[in-house]
């Protein structure tokens, strides 16, 4: 079951889903760059990772390739990593936001909770109609990755 809410504060988008997998397995799908590249982004997107330094202060630079042929460069910094329960990253290019991922054990599975806190409420308002369904597609792709690559 999923839940996405575009109105948890004027600068936040919150999405969550309970995945039927143990927390450490979900965390590995996030922390392994080969696996992350397979599922990150909305449906139809692919990724080319240029740098993935999975440690506090480490950089994550990649290009998302859209199904429309457009490329979307991304740059983030990992601010905090607490295996297997918490990850904070700062999206360091427009749109500017901080994402906190929490992984909580729940009923034999894992609740993955994403909180995107945008620097500007107007940007969040503009992006919410895109981000809310895109986050759901991200969760769908993660769930497919977990099912096919234990």
Query: How is domain 2-41+84-145 classified at the CATH fold level?
Result: Alpha-D-Glucose-1,6-Bisphosphate; Chain A, domain 4 (3.30.530)
Q: How far apart are CA 130 and CA 111, in angstroms?
A: 22
Q: How far apart are CA 62 and CA 146, in angstroms?
A: 22
Contact 113, 102 (CB under 8 A): yes
Residue 2 has pLDDT above 80, yes or no: no
Residue 7 has pLDDT above 60, yes or no: no
Helix (H, G, I), strand (E, B) or coil at 128: helix
Phi, psi (rounded to 5 degrees) for 49: -85, 130
The DSSP 8-state label assigned to residue 94 in this structure reads S
Helix (H, G, I), strand (E, B) or coil at 59: strand
Residue boundaries of the structural domains of the chain: 2-41+84-145
Residue range 70-119, pLDDT digits in tens:
999 999 999 999 999 999 999 999 999 999 999 999 999 999 999 999 99
Helix (H, G, I), strand (E, B) or coil at 45: coil
Note if the pTM is more than 0.85: yes
């Amino acid at each position: 079951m999923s839940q996405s809410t575009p109105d948890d504060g004027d600068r936040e988008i919150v999405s969550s889903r309970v995945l039927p997998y143990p927390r450490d397995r979900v965390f590995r799908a996030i922390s392994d760059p080969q696996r992350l590249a397979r599922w990150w982004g909305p449906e139809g997107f692919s990724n080319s990772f240029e740098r993935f330094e999975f440690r506090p202060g480490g950089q994550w630079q990649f290009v998302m390739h859209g199904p429309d042929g457009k490329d979307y460069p991304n740059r983030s910094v990992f601010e905090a990593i607490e295996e297997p329960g918490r990850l904070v990253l700062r999206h360091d290019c427009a749109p500017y936001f901080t994402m906190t991922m929490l992984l909580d054990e729940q009923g034999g599975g894992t609740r993955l909770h994403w909180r995107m806190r945008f620097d500007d409420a107007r940007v969040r308002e503009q992006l919410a109609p895109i981000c809310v369904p895109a986050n759901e597609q991200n969760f769908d792709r993660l769930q497919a990755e977990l099912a096919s690559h234990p």
